[in-house]
Structure 1
């Protein structure tokens, strides 16, 4: 079976006429930067969704094309790339899976002009007209997982370590409140600029020892999360600390080389090993179209896949106007509350322990 989905270069979208009067969605996913290791999976999830939408006749009898924008750069340049496409009338909608600081910058240029669906876990708060977040906020990710681990492991001293941008800040505020209610306390908090973990990790490890932490909430992302978990392994702290992440998925676990400590947990909307029939069928369709060596569809990829199908459903209902997008999506998704699963790393994969917990 051939993949019926076209990926369009932004320069071609700016300067060449559309083939078959295609409906073009700007796909903002990281092909570089802190979350670059998740890019291939996210792209596969988007292509699979586009293939399925096109197999049903596209959007209003127009084929769906994806215009790939690298969402892995700094917020300003990424949003400038999106703005150029919008100013040229090259896009009919936007979908993205990238960091929240990039999201807020893209939101600024897209709001009120075009429907923009943002699919990964996010920091919460309000959004501008035409911007729809389909992922979960920090309370949705942690409200079940953090108290459960605190009780199960009799944890009393949590440390918080993350990257320094809008999502980890919101995560840390939520985690502090949840830990306090669970009878624990925060003994250390650090936030690091992207790409600095490798050269600053030894003082961080010393600080963890000094604080006598018994649990660690990690809101590092992508390669920084991988580097830090590798450093924990070298130090032996990985076997002393219960670790919980709201950003660890299969690609990050593979880059880490797996984990067999029994103390590394992730709280995410989806895992490849979920026994749910829709998740297994999605994996089978992906393998059939992209081959057995295609990247695993992680939580980011599944979120983007579902976000594009939601966008197509809204378009079918003529509901992509920015001012009515959230109301129309709410009606479409009524009763389908996103959930979060708690899973433990076991070797190169995850064992799902519980879920979903509703937002």
Structure 2
């Protein structure tokens, strides 16, 4: 749904551009995400969502008579590859706009090049607060976003955590997403009266969390905030259960997802009790909103 909103914003902006006196030219939209590498499942979702949305738009006549064409770039979830993906989409595919980059590091890495090439980019899910701070008037006027960031999420989630825990340790992946979120939650916890016991960073693809978990067992916070994606989260939670830790688990990433459940399908109870903060898209499920919001 976030993909649909992002694409709708792009379409509305581009629909007002003149198409010339000849047959209307298509609107070329590029999507950049991790199509390969450890975060490839996110790119798979982007590709499915974008293709479905564009097919639906074109089946209804396009945008003011203009068909939409979709192109994809692989940023592998990294800053350097994001630059290559942008250049491919702009120089080879000749896109009018880019939707991306899904991952915070990739988004931050792409921002200088979209400004240089003067192509607008609409970010759909990158959450490092620096993206908002660096965008718009006085910053990068080619960068737009439709999602909330981790500072906004942290202020709300910390209030919820404060109802159940007085101390917390953060375990975050060592990249722009993890470090941006850790900084945001550090400030939010202070506002909510929660003591931050420690902050631990880990590298993507890490297979052994036992030394880190042993330190957490020794410091014994009441709760943990895990800033991590499903690949690492499934390994971390297995070892967390093996060592017999019993802290309340809060998450920011993709631990409350079908991807995570797929990776622990041999023992789904590994994920029991995890409470995760994520985006909510207004009007996605009106009946649910009526019942719960």
1:135 aligns with 2:147: yes
Query: For residues 88 and 44 of structure 1, what CA distance do their matches in structure 2 show?
Result: 22
- The Cα shift of 1:22 comes to 3.2
Post-superposition CA distance 1:101-146 (Å, at most 9, x none): 1111122211261111111141122221211111111122122222
Aligned equivalent of 2:95: 91
Query: For residues 50 and 259 of structure 2, what CA distance do their matches in structure 1 show?
Result: 19
1:245 aligns with 2:251: yes
1:157 aligns with 2:164: no
Aligned equivalent of 1:39: 43
Whether contact under 8 Å (1:75, 1:101) holds in the other structure is yes
Whether contact under 8 Å (2:233, 2:260) holds in the other structure is no
- The Cα shift of 1:264 comes to 0.5
Query: For residues 165 and 261 of structure 1, what CA distance do their matches in structure 2 show?
Result: 24
Over aligned residues, Cα RMSD in angstroms?
A: 2.7
Instruction: Tell me: CA distance 1:268–1:354, structure 2 relative to 1, closer, same or farther (3 Å).
Output: farther
Post-superposition CA distance 1:234-273 (Å, at most 9, x none): 3332xx12122221242333233344765311111149xx
Query: For residues 120 and 90 of structure 2, what CA distance do their matches in structure 1 show?
Result: 11
Instruction: Tell me: CA distance 1:184–1:81, structure 2 relative to 1, closer, same or farther (3 Å).
Output: closer
SS in 2 for 1:186: strand
Query: For residues 56 and 169 of structure 2, what CA distance do their matches in structure 1 show?
Result: 44
SS in 2 for 1:25: strand
Structure 1 unaligned segments of length 5 or more: list them. Answer: 1-19, 282-340, 342-352
Instruction: Tell me: CA distance 1:253–1:22, structure 2 relative to 1, closer, same or farther (3 Å).
Output: same
Query: For residues 194 and 93 of structure 2, what CA distance do their matches in structure 1 show?
Result: 53
Post-superposition CA distance 1:190-221 (Å, at most 9, x none): 1122212x13x110110110111221111122
Q: 1:170 aligns with which of 153, 157, 180?
A: 180
SS in 2 for 1:269: coil
- The Cα shift of 1:168 comes to 1.9
SS in 2 for 1:31: coil
Aligned equivalent of 2:4: none
- The Cα shift of 1:222 comes to 3.8
Whether contact under 8 Å (1:24, 1:90) holds in the other structure is yes
SS in 2 for 1:111: helix
Aligned equivalent of 1:205: 213
1:264 aligns with 2:274: yes
Q: 1:236 aligns with which of 233, 241, 244?
A: 244
Q: 2:121 aligns with which of 113, 116, 123?
A: 116
- The Cα shift of 1:89 comes to 6.1
Higher relative CO (Cα under 8 Å, sequence separation at least 6) belongs to: 1
Whether contact under 8 Å (1:37, 1:223) holds in the other structure is no
Instruction: Tell me: CA distance 1:177–1:85, structure 2 relative to 1, closer, same or farther (3 Å).
Output: closer
SS in 1 for 2:134: coil
Query: For residues 170 and 77 of structure 1, what CA distance do their matches in structure 2 show?
Result: 20
TM-score by length of 1: 0.64
| Residues matched between the structures, number | 256
